[in-house]
A and B are shown apart, each in its own frame.
Chain A
Amino acid sequence: MTGYILKRLVSAIPVLLGISVIVFLIMAMIPGDPATAILGSYATPENVEKLNRDLGLDQGLVARYFIWLGNMLQGDFGRSFALNRPVLDEVLDRFGATLILAGTSFVLCSLLGIAAGVISAARQYGVADKAITFVVLLGISIPSFFLGMMMILVFAVQLRWFPVSGMWPIYGDRNLGVLLEHLAMPAFALSVVATGVIARLARSAMLEVLRQDFIRTARAKGVRERQVIWRHALRAAMVSIIPILGIQAGFVLSGAVYIEMVFQWPGVGRMLVDAILKRDILLVQGGVVFIAACYVIFNIMVDVAQALLDPRIKT
């Protein structure tokens, strides 16, 4: 197992290097440089040139890439000029918030999605199946940012059950209770689409498994139906459900961008949007590389989990 994990980790290195090159090139190629973004109307060629020099952007592309990469390998992601603080501090600050939001959403959509899929499959074409399918399709079809705005209008502005935005109150203690209050709406809005997708795919995975011989055997042995479904069938179906969860984790993470904008969640998605608009090169590059690294590691973890469930995969 250790060997397998090591092999996967090593194979991640070229992926990350490739990502670093791509994000660097994209930031270098998109029109509009940081100096223009900072100076706005005042971006005369003269002012731009001076500011570029002050920002260290007057060097060649290749030189800039290797300086950046070299610094990054030593743990120095540079300094965000738009926020005037080290990139890594900002990314770590914001990534924590995103993890709380996306993590909660991920747990929500995994549990709800799998449960809905299993029930749907076990009651194929029954009332429960039809009801779940209807709700799931509705959930998949509503854009999350729209759902978020509607939730704010109803539950925050009209009913005043939840705060409109942010992660913590401006005043008062910071405890789990207030965090949950702030987390409830964004986490739910973010999980809806993924729940639907997972439910649909879990349903077909379960249907596949339920037709197999060992299920018939289990039933014939007299195992209780509840056990057949939740223990025997689900366990077998998990092999095909887990990679879906891995992919959905990526979607939840990228979907967080919209939700963070709508709910003003101080996460890394909103940070990247702001940074791109301000052409905050180092923050965009550092943020993307960091997120990509996390995503790659998460995928390795998914693969390892799969290998644990199904020893054939390791080879």
Chain B
Amino acid sequence: MTILTLPRRALLAATAATALALSLGSAQAQTPEDVLIVGQIAEPQALDPAAVTAVNDFRILMNMYDGLVRYRDGTLEVEPALATDWTISEDGTVYTFTLREGVTFHDGSAFDAEAVKFNFDRMLDEEHPYHDTGPFPLAFFFSAVETVEAVDPQTVRFTLNAPYAPFLSNLAYPTGLIVSPAAVEEYGADFGRNPSGTGAFTFGEWRSNEAVVVQANPDYWDGAPELQTVVFRPITDANTRTAEMLAGGIDLMVEVPPVALSEFEGDAYTVHEQAGPHVWFLILNAKEGPFADVRVRQAANYAINKEAIVNDVLEGTAEVAAGPTPPAFAWAYNPDLEPYPYDPDKARELLAEAGAEGAELTFYVTEGGSGMLDPVSMGTAIQADLEAVGLDVTIETYEWNTFLGNVNPGLEGKADMAEMAWMTNDPDTLPFLTLRTAAFPDNGGFNSGYYSNPEVDALLDAARVETDQDERARLYQEMQVIVQEDAPWVFVANWKQNAVTSDRVEGFSLQPSFFLLLDDVSKN
């Protein structure tokens, strides 16, 4: 037995040490009052709104900065923010904003027309001394802007090179948030880690891969927030994020995986849901192969059981999409649109009429990606539904960036259908980039299925330059009816963003914009 004495003694010592370490403190200190800990899906790229592209970063930025305009609570319609008022010239090319008085940036410098001009020149003018603090990937949102003039300290004038109706909602997007010129001048390329805006929360600290901490701005022009501090924790693994929520390590969790929702039933948690400007669809190759025939495209829309996908695969975290425009754009959505019903018989009938029974189809599926929800399971379900009506579908799966590299240049010669999802801030963006004849991939657009209908082209062109919102809405609604009938896509789902809060959190609601606004939230 002598051999075993040493390790046994060692084992004993190790056990004692572990017990000691455990008794040093309870691992679960309760999170303090007035401090909200948010479980984010990733480390932010930067806290410079002009330089970032991810919703994950926007969730932080929207609480630290303001734009000239913003979305009214619970809608996607713009209302005044740093600008109190604006006028649009008759021809729709000159926007004149009156700025809010007495607003200062967190660093103490004044917010005025020169600051606004600085922001847009920095993004758009390659000669600007601080253009090298970029790159600014989404600057093209404002590519219509020709000049920005500071007329007087409280007035700023934008001149566009052509009428462009989405301009105001683009200003409400995070890319239009206003940063402090003084801070950009001081920190240069490191501004993204030393941010300064006018928002409800001021920057505290950024501990890489651990947390971004922001503090209440007591002088916020729209009223000081209730919370003293918000901590954004990056927790990339969805299971771990769920576990942190269950263990009390975070107070608010975004993007709860559908399968984990059942964990949060009961009084200790509140599950929030909000449909957003998102649409998940299948691009159909209308140029060649079976889908060149509109009847086959319609058949695919009838054949796929969208209800089952939304309820069973996505566990109710999405709704069935009726057309190309998400219902979250309430003002531009056509409420008379009914989704294609699940009707396999009708699908078979249409296929027979078109002589496409047993057609072989190549289907591009992605493994994951922004807004793609559960693309592999959804792709498999779709494949099964299409095979049930006699189509022969072969799936090809790609990693997201590879997938985009295959799909964006167009499906011609490669595939008959591909998964895709978009989240946009204006009803113009998606159809303008993906459904016009002028948006074929060769012309630099995303019309990867080569759908072309002169009527739709005309409606979209007219809507883009129409500054009267009611008239714009009418044009979009008409477009939706035609596009639904032409079926260039299979319209599958509109994602409902979700979040969970603990019972200590009050006053929280999700926004259709998918931004996370915390200035009215409290915690006890």
On A, residues with C-beta under 8 Å from B are 30-33, 35-47, 51, 54-55, 79, 81-85, 90, 93-94, 115, 119, 122-123, 128, 149, 152-153, 156-157, 160-172, 177-178, 180-181, 184, 224-226, 229-230, 261-264, 266, 270-271, 274, 277, 279
Contact = CB atoms under 8 A, between A and B. Distances in A.
Interface stretch (B2-10, B150-158, B487-495): B2-10
Given A40-B370, A47-B137, A84-B193, A156 B235 contact: no
Nearest to B30: A171
Contact of A36 (B134, B244, B404): B404
**Max chain A C-beta neighbours (<10 A), residue from B43, B240, B405:** B240
A43 B210 contact: no
A184 B10 CA distance: 18
A31 B405 contact: yes
Contacts of A225: 2-3
Nearest to A94: B209
7 contacts: A31-B402, A33-B405, A38-B137, A84-B45, A115-B10, A164-B244, A171-B32
B247 interface: yes
B2 A164 contact: no
B445 A161 contact: no
Contact of A51 (B24, B137, B235, B399): B137
Contact of A261 (B48, B237, B247): B237
B28 interface: yes
A163 B422 CA distance: 37
B244 A165 contact: yes
B42 interface: yes
Given A33-B405, A36-B408, A83-B46, 4 more contacts: A40-B404, A41-B423, A42-B140, A115-B7
Contacts of B189: 79, 84
Contacts of A160: 26-28, 247
B3 A36 contact: no
A83 B237 contact: no
Contacts of A156: 27, 243, 247
B382 to A, nearest CB: 20
Contact of A149 (B6, B233, B235, B239): B239
Contact residue range for chain B?
35 or more
Given A39-B53, A84-B193, A178-B25, A168 B210 contact: yes
B21 interface: yes
A111 to B, nearest CB: 8
A115 B9 CA distance: 12
A115 B26 CA distance: 32
A274 B234 CA distance: 12
Q: Is the interface of A mostly helix, strand, loop or mixed?
A: helix
B365 interface: no
Nearest to B7: A115
B7 A119 contact: yes
B404 A82 contact: no
Contacts of A37: 401
B82 interface: no
Interface of B: 2-7, 10, 18, 21-22, 24-29, 31-32, 35, 37, 42-43, 45-46, 48, 51, 53, 134-135, 137-138, 140, 189-190, 192-193, 208-211, 231, 233-237, 239-240, 243-244, 246-247, 249, 369-371, 399-402, 404-406, 408, 422-423, 433, 444-446
A262 B237 contact: yes
Contacts of B399: 32
A36 B27 CA distance: 42
A260 to B, nearest CB: 10
Given A181-B24, A184-B21, A172 B29 contact: yes
A88 B240 CA distance: 28
A34 B405 CA distance: 11
Contact of B140 (A47, A149, A261): A47
B7 A266 contact: no
Contacts of B140: 42, 47
Contact of A83 (B28, B45, B231): B45
Nearest to B442: A45
**Max chain B C-beta neighbours (<10 A), residue from A161, A170, A279:** A170
A226 B2 contact: yes
B209 A266 contact: yes
A38 B134 contact: no
Contacts of B433: 44
Contacts of A82: 45
B137 A264 contact: no
B210 A181 contact: no
Contacts of B138: 42
B210 A123 contact: no
B137 A164 contact: no
B2 A224 contact: yes
Given A41-B446, A161-B22, A263-B240, A166 B210 contact: yes
A265 to B, nearest CB: 9
Given A36-B405, A44-B444, A165 B6 contact: no
Contacts of A85: 190, 193, 208
Contacts of B51: 84
A224 to B, nearest CB: 7
Nearest to A172: B29
Q: Considering the complex of A and B, which 6 residue pairs feature the smallest CB-CB distances, nearest first?
A: A32-B401, A266-B209, A54-B135, A31-B402, A84-B46, A177-B24
A128 B4 contact: yes
Contacts of A44: 433, 444-446
Nearest to B248: A160
B137 A42 contact: yes
B38 to A, nearest CB: 11
Contact of B208 (A55, A93, A149, A165): A93
B43 A264 contact: no
Contact of B408 (A43, A93, A279): A43
Contacts of A122: 3
Nearest to A159: B27
B43 A153 contact: no
Given A83-B45, A172-B29, A164 B4 contact: no
Contact of B135 (A41, A55, A128, A274): A55
A38 B53 contact: yes
A274 B371 CA distance: 17
A44 B404 CA distance: 11
A170 B230 CA distance: 11
A31 B29 CA distance: 46
B417 to A, nearest CB: 18
Given A36-B401, A123-B3, A152 B240 contact: yes
Contacts of B135: 51, 54-55, 81
Contacts of A166: 210, 233
Contacts of A33: 401, 405
Nearest to A166: B210
A51 B136 CA distance: 8
A38 B57 CA distance: 13
A180 B27 CA distance: 11
B88 to A, nearest CB: 26
A177 B247 contact: no
A33 B193 CA distance: 25
A86 to B, nearest CB: 10
A30 B399 CA distance: 11
